Amino acid sequence: MKRKFRNKKFINFKKIVFLIVMIFTIYFMMGVIFNGKIINLKDLLFDTALKEVVKEDSIINSALDINITAPENLVYSLMNKVVDKKDIMKVSSDDYFDYDDSKSEYVEDTNKIDIKNPIVYIYNSHQLEAYNIEYVYDYSVKPNVLIASYILKEKLYNKGIESIVETNNIKKYLNDSNLKYNYSYVASRHFIELMLKKEKSIKYLIDIHRDSAKRNKTITKIGDKNYARIMFVVGLDHKNYEPNLKLANDLNNMINKEYPTLSRGISKKTGKGVNGIYNQDMSPNSMLIEVGGVDNTIEEVNNTMDILAEILSSYIKEKENGN
């Protein structure tokens, strides 16, 4: 009797193993077929006419709104989780850290500008979020949000706004502190505190990110150029969120007035399962801006930075002049 029971358990175990192997086989085949792209199940199953009908039915629409992503993209999806609110203050900025010896080896600023009194601090909590490398692969360039930050800094400078980009190595800080990737906001908070102590002139904090959304959501054409669309993210889980929300609304309205298709709007984050703070409790002038997505090129990001620098410089000059 015991032997029969053991045999049955073994057969069930083999079935489970076989099922797992089949699922992963199909999954990796899909990754090869779609060549690393993200495919939406609705796009895969329905033609244009039927999609319009499905769009009207919220239940069907939600059930089918599933993305099939290539295996290499899954790694990013798993890592790109936010740290829980209770862990935000876990690491103290008073801990020793060699500020000058930790410059990122990933991307260096090739157009260094001598900044005397920076008013804007640009940083990247997820420093290595990368853009599409298809057009720059042959040049051994891996464009990411740190490069996007350098671009924004230069364009702001050309419009009379001095800014500084955080180039300290987020990954190194996490490794040295024995923290996982999802504690990136803890690392960026550490550097924000150090920078605010070092540069007393800083008034505006901008955390540049790249979204994981598909290209059809992150691209727009204005005139004869393609632009990476942007989205403002505001954390509501701290008592001083209102000035940051107003700032996001003001900037979003300015963009919509001049470039109505560029912004994807404002994403308000609160509740269980999200960060809800994003270090925005550190300043009433804090911004988290998603610039483009995984499929956008650095050229499209560069075009967007022209507009973002224009809007930010106009806003900052107006505020600083007391208007």
Give residue 92's pLDDT band: very low, low, confident or very high (50, 70, 90): very low
> Which of 42-56, 63-77, 266-280 shows the highest mean pLDDT?
266-280
pLDDT for residue 234 is more than 90:
yes
Q: What is the pLDDT of residue 20?
A: 76
Q: What is the pLDDT of residue 274?
A: 85
pLDDT digits (tens, 9 = 90+) for 172-183: 899 888 988 889
Mean pLDDT (the chain) is 78
pLDDT for residue 164 is more than 60:
yes
Q: What is the pLDDT of residue 181?
A: 86
Percentage of the residues of the chain whose pLDDT score is greater than 70: 67
Give residue 133's pLDDT band: very low, low, confident or very high (50, 70, 90): confident
Percentage of the residues of the chain whose pLDDT score is greater than 90: 49
pLDDT for residue 319 is more than 60:
yes
Tell which residue, 227, 236, 237, has the closest CA to residue 311.
Answer: 227
- What does pTM read for this prediction? 0.69
User: Which is more confidently placed, 130 or 106?
Assistant: 130
Overall CATH class of domain 85-320: alpha beta
Give the domain ranges of the chain: 2-75, 85-320
Q: What is the pLDDT of residue 143?
A: 84
Q: Residues 30-39: what's their mean pLDDT?
A: 48
